[in-house]
Structure 1
Amino acid sequence: MNWLLVVAGAVVGAPLRFLTDRFVQSRHDALFPWGTFTVNVVGSLVLGLLTGAASVGAASSHLQLLIGTGLCGALTTYSTFSYETLRLAADHARGSAAANVVATVPAGLAAAFAGVAAGRALWG
């Protein structure tokens, strides 16, 4: 049963990631991977909200599997973040590669912390 929840979340998360990435990236001419940045930060916020809710007993383990592991796991993408950073560096866009790391990691962490605080405040 648990694996079905993960699969159901991923069925939504994977296409949402693809569509969001394409939508966001199509609106920017820059080399910077804004689409991947967006899905990673939004996914970190959603996972933070869920974690905050779970910490006060407002999110069941089933919801954590569905949203946390399934949806957020398929929505966010560390591998694409890494690949795009390496590709930027290989294409001699080292400033963009560095900006990707310097922006993505703190923004994702800040979104997760904000999500936890919001989740606790909303459901605590």
Structure 2
Amino acid sequence: MFLQNFAELSINYEQNAHKLEECEKALEELGCNLSESKLKIIEMQEELLPLSDAQWENDANVENCKRCNIQFSVSKRRHHCRKCGSIFCNSCSSARLKLPSNAKPVRVCLPCYNYLQNRQNCVPNE
């Protein structure tokens, strides 16, 4: 009787362990799918945000580059980042990316460029 109960318990344990393993795999897969979906949603939200919402800084109020702090002059021109609207020197805004609001690649600052590149690298290819 004891051996029979032990055998039944052992079989039940094996079955439950197998079910648990299947559930863990399913949860892991669902977690991955959820992460991918969240990234896609974030990307879509960013694409839907109109770029005009970015408040362009007024040239008259900015004397230095926001990134490297170099002073603007006749030879050191101001350039607006088309993503965030901040003002940078040529060196700190030399990157170009295609944004949803423009058909051609436009000037973006290095922080926005790095951010957008990282976002693009995080979203899995379909």
TM-score (norm 1): 0.27
Higher helix share: 1
The answer to which structure, 1 or 2, has the higher relative contact order (CA under 8 A, 6+ apart) is: 1
Q: Radius of gyration: which is bigger?
A: 2
Greater strand fraction, Structure 1 or Structure 2: 2
